[in-house]
Amino acid sequence: MQIIEHKGKRFIEINGKQFYLWQAYRAERHYGDPIFLQLYGKTPLRFEDLPDKKWIIIKTRTPGQSKKGEKEYIYTAYDKDYFDLDSNPFERKENQKMFLIGRNRVGSAYLAISTLARLFDLPIPEETMMQLSAKLADGKLDIRYLEHTDDLGNLRNTAYYVKTFGNVHWGITAEYLKQKFGLEPKKNGRKKKNGRAGRFEPGD
């Protein structure tokens, strides 16, 4: 696979075939072949064009085509090992990354927040979910092991991914996420100060 740029647009060449590159992401930021591709072209993308048998291809016909016209498709292809959204990545024994890609940066952030909430069984109201997604996309929310990477294609999207180191992880728990998501109720007890009752605030 080779990504090339021509007149400000990015294309990818695979086995001598050239495609317009909508989106692409690498497992590592600065090296290696992509593990996710979204391509457009008249030439078909086939399984033998991809690195191994773990890849999935989804073919979507581009809208607005007449039935008599030449068929054109958008191909979404990805290594399924990086997109297992059902199992908890923090319970796996091997080092792995779980990628989360939405339609735009905020959409990817929403998918990341909602996936973590589901994996740790945290009910979050939709309004709160939207607020957290915006904060994450703006760089105002930092969560351990959750990182982002930029799109190599023309869409200039952003993907998020959870990076794990086997079953070794520190501090990523439901309680940690509750605190990060602002789901923990504020302490409102009372304690005596200088002989008088005063309102207890965290840090007192």
Residue 21 confidence (pLDDT):
96
Q: Which whole number is the average pLDDT over 127-139?
A: 96
Task: Using the Cα atoms of residue 97, residue 98, residue 104 and residue 105 in order, give the sign of their dihedral.
Answer: negative
Contact by Cβ (8 Å): 128, 68:
no
pLDDT beyond 70 at 53:
yes
Other Cβ atoms within 10 Å of 185 Cβ, number: 6
pLDDT-above-90 percentage for the chain: 59
Domain boundaries, the chain: 1-81, 84-185
**Strand pairing report for 190-193 and 2-6:** unpaired
Contact by Cβ (8 Å): 93, 166:
yes
Q: How confident is the model at residue 62 (pLDDT cuts 50, 70, 90)?
A: confident
Does residue 114 sit in helix, strand or coil? Answer: helix
**What distance in Å separates the CA atoms of residue 189 and residue 187, rounded to the nearest whole number?**
6
The verdict on pTM exceeding 0.75 is yes
